[in-house]
Amino acid sequence: MRIKLSTIFLVFPLFLFAQVKISGRVFDKETQEPIPFVAIYTNNQSTNSQSTLTDEQGYFNLIINHSDSVYFQHLAYNFYAVPSSVLLQNSTVNLVPQAVELADVTISPIDAQSLLKKAGQNLIEKLKEKDTRSYLFHVEESNTIGKERELYALIDAAFNRYNPVGKFYMWNFNLYQLDKVKEGSQGDFYGKIAYPLIRLFPFESINPKSGDFIYSVQDIDSNYFMLKETPIHPDKKHYRYTIYKINKQDTVPIEITSQSLSDAEQFTRHDYKGTDLGIMTQFSTNKIVKDKETGYYYFQEVKNIGSINMKTNNSDFNVIFLSTASVLNNYSTTQGNAKKKIGFLFQLFDKTLFETDFPNSSGFWKQYVK
């Protein structure tokens, strides 16, 4: 009897933490139409998180653990979180469209455009230069030919300056530690190039041009505006629609959420050094917070999830990616190894990380993953 009881207690935890592949579908709760390109991801703290996107018919496949929470996110719908135990019983998900119950704001399209431009300028001014913060940078990728790779990196990032002529942002980055958990060859993901889809701070210049976008502004409450930006004529530069949550007190965006259009691949497809690339879809969130002591702002978290299609002479497959950059509170990178400068522009190439000479320390950075 003791042996049987021991066996039960040994098997029970394995059941709890066993990974299960689940297939499901996401619908609009009101119309019951399938929703394409919904970002889906888990928050498991004991193992690596998982992520995927619904296809054009709303179908998805995801590997989950019994202890996971699973998140569904789409710009046009309310955020939805569900325990994996519920999803295992019913993998059909109904998302609720974002309700427009906000107070009207009397503001013209020109004024809305001016408001956004002013918010961008204020953010640039309030990003304290040379104010270094420590970030945990995490990237995980999988492709439709069965390959995976993943990395953790500990990075110091400091805003350096903004170039108003070229309209780009300058950052100083220092890499302290790199841990490759899984590895695949470069050709299994971006061909022979390091395509800059995985960016540490994917914050583009807020400098709208007249006639490029349709704007609408709504009043959330006494503290915040919501400003929506939709491209009139999508092209390679304007293939995403964006929602800005703007702090009224400082007129600064504190949350930027954007999603690519359903036909983004059509606008982003291009050939680069023998590899034909196109963004199938991309969803990103940028959370910006105010430092209570200094009054300056900084990026607290940046998340990107999406998929690109790759075509070479002998291959055609998709790469699904999830990247996050999160501030490590109460942690100093001086505790780590000697720093290595990895970039000056705000754009960060993952190939640069893979080419560093830092030793791996398997599993070390998992203790910092929330």
pLDDT tens figures, 295-330 = 999 999 888 888 888 888 788 888 888 888 888 876
Q: Say if residue 314 is in the same domain as residue 198.
A: yes
- Residue type, position 124, single letter: I
Q: Which residue has the higher pLDDT, 170 or 200?
A: 170
Q: Say if residue 363 is in the same domain as residue 263.
A: yes
Q: Calculate the alpha carbon distances from 51 to 8, 39, 206 in Å.
A: 32, 8, 29
Q: What integer pLDDT is reported at residue 249 of this predicted model?
A: 92
Q: What integer pLDDT is reported at residue 356 of this predicted model?
A: 57
Q: Which of 45, 67, 95 is the last residue of a domain?
A: 95
Q: Say if residue 184 is in the same domain as residue 46.
A: no
Q: Which residue has the higher pLDDT, 192 or 170?
A: 170
Which residue in 359, 333, 329, 360 sits closest to 175, CA to CA? 333
- Per-residue pLDDT tens for 174-195? 777 777 777 777 677 776 554 4
The CATH number of whichever domain residue 57 belongs to comes to 2.60.40.10
Q: Say if residue 154 is in the same domain as residue 259.
A: yes
CA distance linking residue 164 with residue 121, whole number of Å: 10
% of residues, the chain, pLDDT over 70: 70
- Per-residue pLDDT tens for 226-252? 888 888 888 888 888 888 999 999 999
What is the pLDDT confidence band of residue 147, given thresholds at 50, 70 and 90?
A: confident
Q: Say if residue 326 is in the same domain as residue 195.
A: yes
Q: Say if residue 68 is in the same domain as residue 199.
A: no
Asked whether residue 102 carries a pLDDT value surpassing 80, the answer given is: no
Q: Which residue has the higher pLDDT, 14 or 130?
A: 130
Q: Both tokens of residue 201?
A: 């701070």
Q: Say if residue 43 is in the same domain as residue 120.
A: no
Q: Say if residue 70 is in the same domain as residue 206.
A: no
- The CA angle 163-164-167, to the nearest 5 degrees, is 80
Q: Say if residue 31 is in the same domain as residue 176.
A: no
Q: Say if residue 221 is in the same domain as residue 363.
A: yes
Q: Give the residue carrying structure tokens 């309700």.
A: 99
- Per-residue pLDDT tens for 14-70? 344 567 889 999 999 999 999 988 888 886 544 456 778 888 899 998 888 878 888
Asked if 283 contacts 306 with a C-beta cutoff of 8 angstroms, the reply is yes
Q: Say if residue 91 is in the same domain as residue 238.
A: no
Overall domain count for the chain = 2
Q: Say if residue 259 is in the same domain as residue 185.
A: yes
CA distance linking residue 125 with residue 98, whole number of Å: 32
Q: Which of 95, 113, 142 is the last residue of a domain?
A: 95
CA distance linking residue 354 with residue 178, whole number of Å: 8
Q: Which of 44, 78, 95 is the last residue of a domain?
A: 95
Identify the domain containing residue 77 by its residue range. 2-95
What is the pLDDT confidence band of residue 255, given thresholds at 50, 70 and 90?
A: very high
